[in-house]
Chains A and B, each alone.
Chain A
Amino acid sequence: MPDGLDIRIEQATDRALVSLRVARGAAEEAARRLHLALPLCVAGEDRQSLWLGPDHWLLASTTRAASDMIEHCAATLDGVLHNAVDQSAAFSVLRVAGADVRGVLASGAALDFRASSFPPGGCRPTRFAQVAVAIVATGADEFEIYVDRGYGKYLRDWLEDAVLIAE
């Protein structure tokens, strides 16, 4: 690893995840009722909503159980066709942080990681290091990468190697 490269990679294991899919025409109504921002991620103290598509969010919470979130969706979205399913075990979440994080992430995806285009609060579903991910800028120099749990080890190995060969 090049001397002084400031980057840390760690597993985030602290959250319940719910995938919320709503009928196309009802997306705006659902977002309004659930206070989901379009299309960016909303990062609150204990919850986030990751925008994955025009009718698709991944809801994350560090304090509430997935079943609670699913019930909350059902109650709030009464009359709106939707499917909220527990995905807490479907993802591996890697937290990558440090002053050099944007430069290292630029090895994995064609996204523009410059702060001007990817400010804190942004969420980008994309292809990173050949696998599908959602990347959330959780701070100026901090990102969380959501990846299918089957690729969790691969992606962590990949990131650690990317740090090794970074400049």
Chain B
Amino acid sequence: MSSPQPFRKAEGGRIDRTRDVAFTFDGRRYLGHPGDTLASALLANGVRIMGRGMKFHRPRGVLTAGIEEPNALLSVDWGAGRIPSVRATAMPLLEGLEGRSQNCFPSVNFDVGRVLDYTRALWPAGFYYKMFKWPNWHAFEWAVRRAGGLGRVPGGTDPARYRHVNGHCAVLVVGSGPSGLMAALAAGRRGEDVLLVEQDSEFGGSLLHDPMEIDGTGSDAWLAATLAELDGMDNVRRMANATVAGCYDHNLLTIHDRGAAYRGDGGVESFWKVRAKQVVLATGAFEQPMLFGKNDLPGVMLAGAVRKYASRFAVDCGRRVAGVVNNDSGWRALLAVHDGGAPVCAIVDTRRDVEADLLEAAGARGIPVYRGATPLKARGSRGVRALRFADGEGTVQQVDCDVIAMSGGWNPATQLYSQAGGKLRYDAALHCFLPDQDPAGWEAVGAASGSFAPGGGASVLPSAPAPVRTGRQWVDFQHDVTVADIELAVREDYISVEHMKRYTTAGMAVDQGKTSNLNALTLLGQLTGRTPGEVGTTTSRPQFAPVTMGAIAGNRRGDFYRPPKLLAAHDWHAAQGAVFDDYGSWKRPACYGPDRDAAIAREVLAVRQSVGLFDGSPLGKIEVRGPDAATFLDRIYVNNVPSLKPGRVRYGLMLNENGIVMDDGVFVRIAEDHFLVNTTSGNADRVAAWLEEWHQCEYFDIEVVLSPVTSQWAVATLAGPEARTVLESLPGLIDLSTSNFPHMRFAEGRLADDTPYRLQRVSFSGEQSYELSVPSSCAVSIFERLRSAADVGVVPVGVEALMVLRTEKGFIHVGVDTDGTTNPLDIGFGGVVARKQREFIGARSLARPNDQRADRRQLVGFELLDGDAGLAAGAHVVTAGNGMRSEGFVTSAFRSPTLGRPIGIGLIEGGFGRKGEEVLVYDAGRTTPARVVDPCFYDPAGERMRA
């Protein structure tokens, strides 16, 4: 089953050599094994250039073996959909996976964008602030955006599925290295609810490539026993391929879980929101690069990564390895790599003092050692060919090699800890930032807390990196930030770490500086005479690692994006040919019939000439009951409430504290102590909350209880000269004659079939109109009975026709004909306000001189002088001779089927005093002459609705 993988070792590693996994990279087919990552499989096949630098388009290879990878970012297709900028180092190798290099043209091996590297003098840090001043930045932006950036956003609809899950646990352990496993084991044994989350595909962390002795046994055996014990506990759950991505207030942590998706079979990505009482941070530490010339060449890698590829994936990163280190861990990694079969040809250590046992081990293996040395430069163009360095005596030397394994020390992965509000302190001996003040419920363990050798043993004592001017030295690989860029920032006085970060963009790439922040701020300190502790760190924010947009969206797509609220008679309307639109949260019939304009006109004329049937169920309905109900509502409404007699209906306006019109509708006095408040459909929930707030917070001594009943009642509105005739066909109703049941009356009872009903005679159309409420469960039967009741021909009417009908009558629609500045005086309710002597919400505000100005925008009607022109809502009203200054606008406008001409209403300055005046209506570049008229265009005396 062996495949031609030239850099794969013959044995060892945690891969399954008995099976091949086929994948492609840039269209070429390769084989790897289960257990590989995409990066390890590519390295095994000898692929070293995996991407191009973001700014200079230099060839880049793998730097790391984990989530922190800045270079090997690929577009990846597998199963469903393409994901850009996937870390090849953290992507399990899946059958059929297709990887593509990014940010290169025509290919990753020859990229014309490299011209930016040869002209690099033109593009220093902050170049876009300096170079593109003329004519302006936007003239260049498209070209700069095209040249930079990494992956491309995939087009089309994402075929993959995603879901959200909420979780709760007593202890969330982040990371499953030895420390994390021990913490999970201890909490599990205490019987606590434990969630153990590992971003790798396997549990074990460093044990998977750096075995040690634990509890007197080998770590492989310990790992197997530990996982078996955890699996035996009902109170412990564990997730692999899951990254804890963010931490928010009160220990709410988010987890991006790809476990099921990677297993295939249509498994979905999950986005967990977990509330944890305690968090154990066992995230380990990130090894840091060394600074020397051309340290970005493919083949320059972190020493720990070279070791991980060798021991876990059985991959030699090269044939001849040179080490550049400043700490003991680098030595141990190099010795392990050497023992694994990839000869180490030199260890270049910047320290003079090195532990005797390390020197002995190197000597025993015949590895030349250079202490107190200075790495100068990697040589090569598309990959490392040699390392040049100055030895302890200052003599420049060169060794041939194809891998440079570097170790600049380790920095704990404290990103989540910082997000949680934890404070860090700089440790000079370890040259890193350690967790210092734990946030409530947090604890850092193992390497994440600076204990870099959990099994005991050698300490890590790195020195600070010492830059030498031998060509460009990369600090941030992903954003192409060099030592020179940081020097430039300092020369230009960007010496705060936050300023330096933004000026150079160091640490601002999608890896958030996991391998660059420490070097950048150390360098900034050296250049400004400060310690790293004095320089300080920048702030870590979610996400710790990129999360797919799909996972964040979860299933909130399509109909689940915004829950559609359906009428009880939805299907009945559909059967009548309804075209549904969104009105607030509801899906309601806009009109009935595919030709919208014709349908609306037909429906309007039906109401004017015979009878229409409208579904008014979303109308807000709130019962107010109690001895103080009238007093309470009298404070809520502008209108007089106590004078209303039981069984009667009155129109009312509600204002907010600023005196602005908030809602309108009728209210009913069912009984002395029992009212029914009708709100506009879109405001049903808001008004209910508004009444609760005033009752609970301000008028708590008022004795009422509030019961929203909107959904209980379906409302069938019959409107038109034949409305009464149709309604009378329902047996069991009261006597509907106008003498017994005139306009603005209410009745309730039961129909002959015992269906309870509420009936109010009110009109939003200007015609004789009845709103019949029955329980929503009876909606379909009542609509069907009314539609087929008489031989009149009842026409179903949608929302759009009602909007035309009410505009013909000059009835306002709050929120359409009013805005956040409209008070009741502006819409003609000055008389009502003046007559009410008692307090109501907003009354005081209406007493302000500004609210009473005569030149405020006031409600008027418009008719066009040129009858053929159109009138559009939103059009501005301007006056000849007054320039093009807007004096107000049209708020509702339609071509009236009843009148056969365009009509509109709107708000214009001093409108009440301008009836008859000619104005100009400006819309979309056209100016049309119009006349200001009364807003009521039809039956101004109201005889039809009282008939």
Contact B166 A158, beta carbon cutoff 8 Å = no
Task: Tell me, yes or no, whether A76 is within 8 Å of chain B by CB.
Answer: no
Bound form: Cα–Cα A149–B712 in Å: 9
The residue of chain B having its C-beta at the shortest distance from the C-beta of A86 within the complex is: B712
Bound form: Cα–Cα A153–B703 in Å: 38
Could you give, for residues 130-167 of chain A, a 1 whenever the CB lies within 8 Å of some chain B CB and a 0 otherwise? 11000000000000000011111111011001100111
Could you give, for residues 230-262 of chain B, a 1 whenever the CB lies within 8 Å of some chain A CB and a 0 otherwise? 000000000000000000000000000000100
Residue numbers in A under 8 Å from B267 (CB-CB): 167
Contact B707 A154, beta carbon cutoff 8 Å = no
Bound form: Cα–Cα A81–B626 in Å: 7
Task: Tell me, yes or no, whether A11 is within 8 Å of chain B by CB.
Answer: no
- Nearest CB in chain A: distance from B758 CB, A: 11
A83-B625, A86-B712 given as contacts; is B163 within 8 A of A130 (CB)?
no
Bound form: Cα–Cα A19–B463 in Å: 72
Task: Tell me, yes or no, whether B354 is within 8 Å of chain A by CB.
Answer: no
Contact B775 A89, beta carbon cutoff 8 Å = yes
Task: Tell me, yes or no, whether B776 is within 8 Å of chain A by CB.
Answer: yes
Contact A167 B270, beta carbon cutoff 8 Å = yes
Of A21, A86, A89, which is in contact with the most chain B CB atoms at under 10 Å from its CB?
A89
Out of A22, A24, A131, A161, name the residue touching B555 (CB < 8 Å). A161
Contact A129 B165, beta carbon cutoff 8 Å = no
The residue of chain A having its C-beta at the shortest distance from the C-beta of B259 within the complex is: A167
Q: Which of A37-45, A93-101, A103-111 lies on the face that meets chain B?
A: A103-111
Contact A148 B712, beta carbon cutoff 8 Å = no
Sample of 6 more A-B contacts, CB < 8 Å, known A21-B705, A130-B562: A21-B707, A89-B776, A89-B778, A111-B166, A129-B560, A161-B555
Residue numbers in A under 8 Å from B165 (CB-CB): 103, 106-107
A106-B167, A107-B163 given as contacts; is B623 within 8 A of A165 (CB)?
no
Residue numbers in A under 8 Å from B756 (CB-CB): 86
- Nearest CB in chain A: distance from B709 CB, A: 6
Contact B566 A106, beta carbon cutoff 8 Å = no
Task: Tell me the A111-140 residues at the B interface (CB within 8 Å).
Answer: 111-112, 114, 117, 129-131
User: Could you list which residues of chain B lie within 8 angstroms of chain A, going by C-beta atoms?
Assistant: 161-168, 193, 260, 267-268, 270, 273, 275, 555-556, 559-560, 562-568, 585-586, 623, 625-627, 696, 700, 703-707, 709-714, 756, 775-778
Contact B564 A110, beta carbon cutoff 8 Å = no
Could you give, for residues 53-78 of chain A, a 1 whenever the CB lies within 8 Å of some chain B CB and a 0 otherwise? 00100000000000000000000000
Residue numbers in A under 8 Å from B713 (CB-CB): 89
Contact B163 A151, beta carbon cutoff 8 Å = no
Bound form: Cα–Cα A103–B635 in Å: 48
Bound form: Cα–Cα A103–B713 in Å: 35
Out of A149, A157, A162, name the residue touching B776 (CB < 8 Å). A149
Residue numbers in A under 8 Å from B193 (CB-CB): 114
- Nearest CB in chain B: distance from A1 CB, A: 10
Contact B163 A162, beta carbon cutoff 8 Å = yes
Residue numbers in B under 8 Å from A19 (CB-CB): 707, 709
The residue of chain A having its C-beta at the shortest distance from the C-beta of B706 within the complex is: A21
Residue numbers in B under 8 Å from A151 (CB-CB): 563, 565-566
Residue numbers in B under 8 Å from A23 (CB-CB): 626, 703, 705
Residue numbers in B under 8 Å from A129 (CB-CB): 560, 563
Bound form: Cα–Cα A130–B561 in Å: 9
Contact A131 B563, beta carbon cutoff 8 Å = yes
Residue numbers in A under 8 Å from B709 (CB-CB): 19, 85, 87, 90
Residue numbers in A under 8 Å from B563 (CB-CB): 129-131, 151, 154-155, 158
Bound form: Cα–Cα A38–B496 in Å: 57
